Chains A and B, each alone.
Chain A
Amino acid sequence: MKKSLKNKIIIGVPAIFIVVMLIVMVVVSVILSKQNRKTANTLIRNAFNIVRFTISERQDKLLFNSHQMASMDNMGRKIKYVKESSSYFKYDTLRPTYTKIAGVIYGIGTTADIWKANIYNSNGDLMTFAIIEEDGSTLGCIHNREIVETASLKSGKELTGELWTKQDNLPAGIEYSLGKELPNKEVINFEIINKSLCQVAYSPVMGKEYNPITEQMEMKQVGIVVVVQKFGTTFVQKMAELTGTEINIFTPGVMVCRAICCGTFDDYETIDLSQFEDVQNASKLNKQPMIFNDLDIANRSYFQGILPIYSGQKCVAAIVSLYSKKMAKTNTMQIIKLLSLVYLIGIILIVPITILVVMRGIINPIQRIAFMMREIARNKDFTKMLKVESQDEIGDLASSFNEMTGNLQKTTTSIDNLNREINERMKAERNQAQLLKELEKTNHELKEFAYIASHDLKAPLRGINTLTNWISSDYADKLDEKGKEQLTLLSRRADRMHNLIDGILQYSRVGRIHEEKKQVNLNELIGEVIEMLAPQENITVTTENELPIIECGRTRITQVFQNLISNAIKYMDKPQGKIEIGCVEEDDFWKFSVSDNGPGIENKYFEKIFQLFQTLSPRDEFESTGVGLTLVKKIVELYQGKIWVESKVGIGSIFFFTFPKQKLETKNAKLEAYITC
């Protein structure tokens, strides 16, 4: 069976249900049986209460009846009369009295459900008896232990004189005397008579007698009435009916310990009476202890209550009340059946419902999520979203999943973007590399061109110059002033062209040739430049303040200062030329200045002078290529600086240019330079 959640539920939920059901049933059974036992015991107790009450009532009644017998119809006088007369009167004379007495006790006995009624005289001799049984009664009179006359009648029949017949012997079970001392007050006891439990009431018969001592008539006991009532089948059946239980009475049988029964439950025959100990004051019915237990007989189970009956101190009988467990069992079974039914219905209902709920709420969403995850993994499409249908944990899972895919989407998008960027960068780099290559090639070509240009262009110029020289020296005498002047001009033109070529070459080299930056001590450099330029005596070139050490190409910066200073010298128009070089330190750059007291420049030419081949005076006045300032500007701008001029015509000019500061290395270099200097 596939190990899916659904199957687990199908197996698991019923299993749990069944287990719970079994546990519940066991618990219920236990509880129920306890309940049942309690109920049964209560029932049995109640039953015994009824029994005791009934017995008590019976006792009272018996006593009453025996009392009746003892006192009714002048029983005392009669007994007394018989007793006193029995020595000299014959039985026949007394017969009517006897029979009357018998009639009385019979009369009362039949109405009172009495088994036996005996009257004894004060000597303990039996005078009359009555045995009343279902199928018939037997009455008897006994005279002086000699004459016995009995009458037997069926129940319901009237007692008539004819019924009396003389007998030779006493019927079985009748004794001539009481056999024990006469109780002198009313007493009632339990006694076992003929293996039956009976209660026996003793009522003394009182008669008036003359007391010679007191000379008065006194009531004196003249005899005793002993009345026996049996607890027999009628009693037991009545009790059974009243109590709703089986009632058995056990009395000692042949074997002392084993009691045999008279009861409603025939299968229950004997119990062991020895389990009941001798007890003081046991005649009080209320204080007798009961025993509760179970009985299994004839394939049936009963709750049993045993009530012992004491006579004196000994237990002489036991009344057993049995309550069939069948009812209880049936009840319990019914309850359990009901529970089972409920559980089955529960299982049948709950399992599908649970499956449905779990499927919809958990399994299906999970399957959807798993499916979606697989889809996304395969297609790398992170834009798909899950429907968030519920607000519970599954909904939470779904929305978290969506969040995650959203993030993944963003990530992949940014990765894609990055990739694109990288590709573009790489393309740009390739382009750049290509451009660089082309640039290098161009550079190389230019270099060659410059080289060739300078050489091949200059060569003829040299020739011109040389020849001009030779002509002017060799044929000097053949030339007039004009001729000589023309030759001079010719020579100068050739020089100019030479300078122009140099200027152009220099100009082109500035951008093209990369000069390594080095630490340049400007103070030294200016010194060199001044030396090289060798100005006339009337021109002084000084530095205003300490010049810094800057990182630049030495040749380049030399060209800058050389050009500026040489211009200043060249165009000096004052008798005392003063050229000053200065430097001001700003935050990010140095501001250099080359000032002169020369002719000055008009404002409108401030821009023009930096243009290529631009001169402010005719070439023949001041031999100038017009390249110098252009070159200076190019160099300054190459180093990210600026150049400009301030000037007043007739006073002088100051050429400013800025040189950006390099980083800390420059400052350190200054220190180093000073240390090594």
Chain B
Amino acid sequence: MRSSKPILLVEDDVVDVMTIKRALKDLKVTNDLVLGANGEEALDYLNNNSNRTPCLIVLDLRMPKMNGLEFLKSVKSDDDLKKVPVVVLTTSENEEDRSDSFRLGAAGYMVKPADYEKFVETIRTVDLYWTLSELPNGTGNSTE
């Protein structure tokens, strides 16, 4: 992502976090990575005005306290926050999860590959896409 805005990663599994961090490093993505261990923490971060609005949210579905779908729902009901694209990155291949995610306004749905190499590929694809995709002004300038 060209933007310097952070990527909000909502994920509770430590290994998965490490994996994503490593993958981003391999891809030389320079954006900051903000962590939310679960939906609640992530929402707190978003609602805190002193924090920068992320340019992308990567969301895991299965988390304690507030799971991914609940978080997605709250984010998309907020007029300001809903402009931020959310990509679901989950182990679940469940059709229901898929449809629910898109119904709630996810921008994309990707299944975590078991293999690390493939994982990197997936992240690269995400990065490539969102580098191209332009967000409306006010949420995060691509030029900024």
Contact = CB atoms under 8 A, between A and B. Distances in A.
A463 B116 contact: no
B112 interface: yes
Given A462-B15, A466-B15, A470-B22, A455 B92 contact: yes
Given A459-B13, A459-B91, A465 B62 contact: no
A461 B115 CA distance: 11
Given A462-B16, A466-B119, 10 more contacts: A455-B62, A455-B91, A459-B13, A461-B114, A462-B15, A462-B91, A462-B114, A463-B13, A463-B16, A498-B114
Nearest to A456: B62
A451 B62 CA distance: 12
Nearest to A462: B114
Interface string A433-474: 000000000000000000100010011011101110110000
B19 interface: yes
Contacts of A466: 15, 18-19, 116, 119
B13 A465 contact: no
Interface string B1-23: 00000000000010110110010
Contacts of B119: 466
Nearest to A494: B114
Given A455-B62, A459-B13, A470-B22, A465 B115 contact: yes
B116 A469 contact: yes
B91 A465 contact: no
Interface size, A (range): 10 to 19
A458 B19 contact: no
25 contacts: A451-B92, A451-B94, A455-B91, A458-B91, A458-B114, A459-B13, A462-B15, A462-B16, A462-B91, A463-B13, A463-B15, A463-B16, A465-B114, A465-B115, A465-B116, A466-B15, A466-B19, A466-B116, A466-B119, A467-B15, A469-B116, A470-B18, A470-B22, A470-B116, A498-B114
B128 to A, nearest CB: 22
B45 to A, nearest CB: 24
Nearest to A451: B94
Interface of B: 13, 15-16, 18-19, 22, 62, 91-92, 94, 112, 114-116, 119
A334 to B, nearest CB: 124
A27 B13 CA distance: 135
Contacts of A470: 18, 22, 116
- A-B pairs, top 10 by smallest CB distance, nearest first, are A463-B15, A469-B116, A462-B114, A466-B19, A466-B116, A466-B15, A465-B114, A455-B91, A459-B91, A458-B91
Interface of A: 451, 455, 458-459, 461-463, 465-467, 469-470, 495, 498
Contacts of B94: 451
Nearest to B61: A455
Nearest to B112: A462
Nearest to B15: A463
Contacts, number: 33
A461 B18 CA distance: 15
A495 B113 CA distance: 12
A477 B44 CA distance: 43
Contacts of A459: 13, 91
Please indicate which of the listed interface residues B15, B18, B62 has the most CB atoms of chain A within 10 Å of its own CB. B15
Contacts of A451: 92, 94
B97 to A, nearest CB: 9
A463 B13 CA distance: 9
B15 to A, nearest CB: 4
A461 B119 CA distance: 15
Nearest to A467: B15
Contacts of B62: 455
A463 B112 CA distance: 11
B141 to A, nearest CB: 35
A461 B13 CA distance: 12
Nearest to B115: A465
A564 B34 CA distance: 48
A451 B94 CA distance: 8
Contacts of A467: 15
A458 B94 CA distance: 14
Contacts of B13: 459, 463
A498 B112 CA distance: 14
A498 B94 CA distance: 17
Please indicate which of the listed interface residues B19, B62, B94, B112 has the most CB atoms of chain A within 10 Å of its own CB. B19
Contacts of B114: 458, 461-462, 465, 495, 498
A470 B91 CA distance: 20
Nearest to B92: A455
B143 to A, nearest CB: 36
Nearest to B22: A470
Nearest to A463: B15
Contacts of A455: 62, 91-92
Contacts of B19: 466
Contacts of A495: 114
B101 to A, nearest CB: 15
A462 B112 CA distance: 9
A32 B106 CA distance: 133
B112 to A, nearest CB: 7
Contacts of B18: 466, 470
A459 B61 CA distance: 13
Contacts of B115: 465
Nearest to A473: B116
Please indicate which of the listed interface residues A463, A466, A470, A495 has the most CB atoms of chain B within 10 Å of its own CB. A466
Contacts of B92: 451, 455
Nearest to B119: A466
A450 to B, nearest CB: 10
B8 to A, nearest CB: 21
Contacts of B16: 462-463
A177 to B, nearest CB: 178
A465 B16 CA distance: 11
A226 to B, nearest CB: 171
B41 to A, nearest CB: 20
B16 to A, nearest CB: 8
Contacts of A465: 114-116
Contacts of A461: 114
Contacts of A463: 13, 15-16
A366 B62 CA distance: 90
A470 B14 CA distance: 14
A470 B18 CA distance: 10
A160 to B, nearest CB: 185
A498 B15 CA distance: 17
Contacts of A462: 15-16, 91, 112, 114
B21 to A, nearest CB: 11
A461 B16 CA distance: 12
A494 to B, nearest CB: 8
A212 B116 CA distance: 215
A498 B13 CA distance: 18
Nearest to B93: A454
A461 B112 CA distance: 12
Nearest to B19: A466
Nearest to A452: B62
